[in-house]
Homo-oligomer: A and B are copies of this chain.
Amino acid sequence: MRRYRKVDFPVAEVRRFLEPGPVVLVSSAWKDQRDIMTLGWHMVLEFTPSRLATMISSGNHSAGLIRRSGECVINVPTADLLDTVVGIGNTCGDEIDKFAHFGLDAVAGSVVAAPLIAQCHASFECRLVDRSQIRRHGLFIWEVVKAHVARSPKLPRTVHYRGDGQFMVSGDEVSRRRLFNPEML
């Protein structure tokens, strides 16, 4: 699996990678434990500060590490990692160390203690800013405090879950800039 060397990326522009709706890998750490979970339920909330929401079920092993640490890293995998993405989503982190089991490398972040995944082309360090909806809706509200993105590929092929074991892979890119009011861009 390819390891990506990543560079700093503006946090206000992480929508470019997340708004199309790819499956992401959420990494977390608390004391001597670490974990990765596969997640499809996320959304952009704001540009500046850069805010996201995720729905994470309390039954997930990662949920405990995330709640306790108040941190996570949202990593975006490409289509060549699909079997790993599915494997992570179908195993439990209280039984295995998912980094070791799936041959993924943990890279230290610059702001949070949760590790980045070297085999993902984009990794966003996040800090939990609102816990008030966790119990009611499983909703975690995050600020992206640091973003790391590989210089290439510019438009990575991502995977998008439909449920029932079926995925859509990202297709063509099209521009409609000419139809936008400048202030809407």
Contact = CB atoms under 8 A, between A and B. Distances in A.
Contacts of A44: 40-41, 55
Interface string A143-185: 0000000000001010111111111111111111111110011
Contacts of A171: 157, 168-172
Interface stretch (A70-78, A93-101, A115-123, A133-141): A133-141
B40 A19 contact: yes
A32 interface: no
A90 interface: yes
Given A41-B19, A41-B45, A168 B163 contact: no
A89 B184 contact: yes
Contacts of A51: 137
Most B C-beta atoms less than 10 A away, residue of A46, A55, A171: A171
A19 B21 contact: yes
A57 to B, nearest CB: 9
